[in-house]
Structure 1
């Protein structure tokens, strides 16, 4: 905790309070909980906001530090920023419901919710959300949170490779906190849309990670000594 700034502590406290609030509402008011986890409501909007925050944070750091780093650092930072921005846009169907924009015929015919997004697309009767955005991404998240920090800390070769691509490494407090929040959401809540809360927690933790990663001194430093990375 001593390595976290006051802003990070405030945001982490906000995450804990909003999850506890969700647990309380789930236990006391089923109808209100349904509202909190539905499309374009409390948790989904927060998910999108924090994914955008994370993306913009990386873009700010890209323009701040890019002259001190090499090509692969730039590629890694931009790819992660684009992925987070894409996630934020997909979460709210790129503002379609907010601005009352009608879907094209293509999306009406091939999207499970007839919306303009990719994660609800249906191919040969199978939702991409289940194949890519659930199964595959769950594996990727597991590797990112559980394996990458260990490799960065224990393997000099992997340490150099991770830093070379500017990959933000979760701090132990990020990993522990995310595991605790995951258990708080998934164990007591028996609701089909509880994953909206989990996605919100993931988005906020990702913002905290890119804001102040474990390897911040290695990938966000104004030093020409980093130029060869």
Structure 2
């Protein structure tokens, strides 16, 4: 188990710091500074680094579990690894961001940002994974922690190994609140964030990170749950 102080920083301090950071950016930075903050080598770089850490964590858990130890957790971590791999490499356009190759004309013709990734080429690969992740945050970050607190008997014990720490509810609730704020421009014609999608993504990716941190700690240090 990580030291209590480290878990406090990860699960409470950083999640509460994030909205302060983004509202501070909107309140105190000028337009040019906001553009730089939200650029490919600004907050997007933090997102990508976080995703590759998530990929490492999910693979670490997957390879350290023997099939005979916990079949469900191993399958789940395999799926998480595939998801993290896809999202991480999509975010860096499969290396184009750093190696700067040219997008083929045939691909660029149908890609909204002229990059060699799939999510800007097709709404199916853009909205569906994001929606699945948002649903996962709703269940894993709000509903399951609530049931763990007030009605633990309603949670199937055979899936106990994939339940996160209850403290993940902090980032889950904050992500839900940011999602609501993300809809404000359409509801009230109010622009809260300069790039609302980037704000939402940092909360979603931090949720994935904290989920995997909690699972890794449960598996590694709490008797390898079965």
| TM-score grouping bracket, smaller chain normalisation | 0.7 to 0.9
SS state of the match for residue 208, structure 2?
Answer: helix
Map 1:105-120 to 2 at 5 A. 105-120=105-120
1:212 CA drift (Å): 1.6
Which residue of structure 1 lines up, in the alignment, with residue 205 of structure 2? 203
Deviates more, 1:98-107 or 1:136-145: 136-145
* Rounded Cα–Cα distance in structure 1 between residues aligned with 2:111 and 2:86: 17
Give the total of aligned pairs: 213
Structure 2 gap ranges (5+) = 182-189
Match of 2:174 in 1: 180
Q: Call closer, same or farther: CA 1:67–1:7 in 2, change over 3 Å.
A: farther
* Alignment correspondent of 1:65: 65
* Runs of 5+ consecutive residues of structure 1 not aligned to the other structure: none
The 5 A counterparts of 1:1-229 are 5-12=4-11, 13-31=13-31, 32-38=33-39, 40-66=40-66, 69-122=69-122, 127-128=123-124, 131-150=127-146, 153-156=152-155, 158-160=156-158, 162-163=159-160, 167=162, 169-180=163-174, 183=177, 187=181, 190-213=192-215, 217=218, 219-220=219-220, 226=226
Return closer, same or farther for 1:99/1:14 CA change in 2, 3 Å cut-off: farther
Q: Give 3-state SS (helix, strand or coil) of 2:118's partner.
A: coil
2 CA distance for matches of 1:139 and 1:196?
A: 18
Q: 1:182 to 1:82 in 2, by over 3 A?
A: same
TM-score (norm 2): 0.75
Distance 2:126 2:63 in 1: 36
Distance 2:6 2:132 in 1: 32
When you count helix as a share of all residues, which structure comes out higher?
Answer: 2
Q: 1:185 to 1:21 in 2, by over 3 A?
A: farther
**Partner of 2:140: helix, strand, or coil?**
helix
Task: Please tell me the root mean square deviation across aligned C-alpha atoms, in Å.
Answer: 3.4
TM, length-normalised to structure 1: 0.74
SS at the partner of 1:114?
coil
* Aligned mates of 1:224, 1:20 — CA distance in 2: 37
